Amino acid sequence: MRRAFALLALVACGGDPTAEGDHHHYVVSSIRMPQSAAEAPMLALPLQDGGGRNNKFGAALAGLPVGPITNAAIQHGDLSLLLDLQTRDLVDASAAGVTIRFGENPNPTPCTAPDSCGHHLDGTGTFDVAFGGTDETLLGDVIGGTFSSAPNITSIQLGFQRGRPLDVDLLTARVELTGLSDTTIQKGIIAGVISRDFVVGELLLEMKIGFDSIVGNDCQIGPEPACDCIPGSLGEQIRSAFGPEPSGICSVSDDVFMAHPGIQALMQSDVSVDGVAGVTFGMGIVGVAADF
């Protein structure tokens, strides 16, 4: 870690550093959000040399199905997060870098039936590069088959609504990729800081709209009246996480949503980047080869 930061600082003294070597293209095939507050630091990275692994976003939402919802969007082709890793070697190399891009128009067709999706994630899928995000490369080294970047800005996407991925700018970010080969990224972490104003003003609204849509699809008023959800569905998970609503209501009310401890926690920043209040973020990823 320290070696990577020091190396980049040294190169920068003689001019702008750049990545070198062949380009290896991947698409994120699944993400992992923390299942508990205790797991949150395990899916985070230090954002400065000697810093801690903070992940307020992951810890706050550990009881909500944000990961499964985003993975459903990935499986359906609604969200395609592309990684362009440039390096001279996948085992040991300096002057490496990764650029995160947004993908669209996946081929083959992601779903051949409602319960048969993810066909574009078999390692041979092709994607167009969509507008949005940044062209910033996160520079670092590959050491022992693990790429670790120094901090830089970048953008990711999360999926709360079908067909509508949410672009999320990270004020500062790092990436770690492990188990690299031409065909897979066995595991990785994308960590960074999201603007608190964006969380409060946009992300929570998109999350609430997405939750309402999912509950509306998976749940309906039963004969009692009570809200009956498809067993094991995302709608049932959302309803369970927010607790009971008054009889006859089959949704998550605004008051109940905003009163959830995790939602309340996200309205408070835990870090500042260049004077901008932010919320630390981290998620695990797995990747497969892709063409774009």
Give, in order, the Cα–Cα distances in Å from 18 to each of 2, 23, 91, 140, 196.
18, 13, 19, 10, 31
Regarding whether 69 and 20 lie in a shared domain, the answer is: yes
Residues linked to residue 31 through DSSP beta bridges, in sequence order:
285
Regarding whether 174 and 31 lie in a shared domain, the answer is: yes
Q: Is residue 274 part of a domain?
A: no
Q: Is residue 273 part of a domain?
A: no
pLDDT digit string (tens) for 122-146?
999 999 999 888 889 999 999 999 9
Regarding whether 228 and 139 lie in a shared domain, the answer is: no
Identify the segments of the chain with pLDDT beneath 70. Answer: 1-15, 246-248
Regarding whether 164 and 24 lie in a shared domain, the answer is: yes
Nearest to 43 by CA among 148, 192, 266: 192
Give the count of domains, the chain.
Answer: 2
Task: Please tell me the predicted confidence (pLDDT) of residue 22.
Answer: 98
Can you give the residue range of the structural domain that contains 212?
Answer: 202-262
Regarding whether 216 and 141 lie in a shared domain, the answer is: no
Task: Please tell me the predicted confidence (pLDDT) of residue 3.
Answer: 43
Regarding whether 176 and 155 lie in a shared domain, the answer is: yes
- pTM reported for the whole predicted model: 0.91
Q: What share of the chain is helix, strand, coil (3-state, %, to 5)?
A: 25, 40, 35
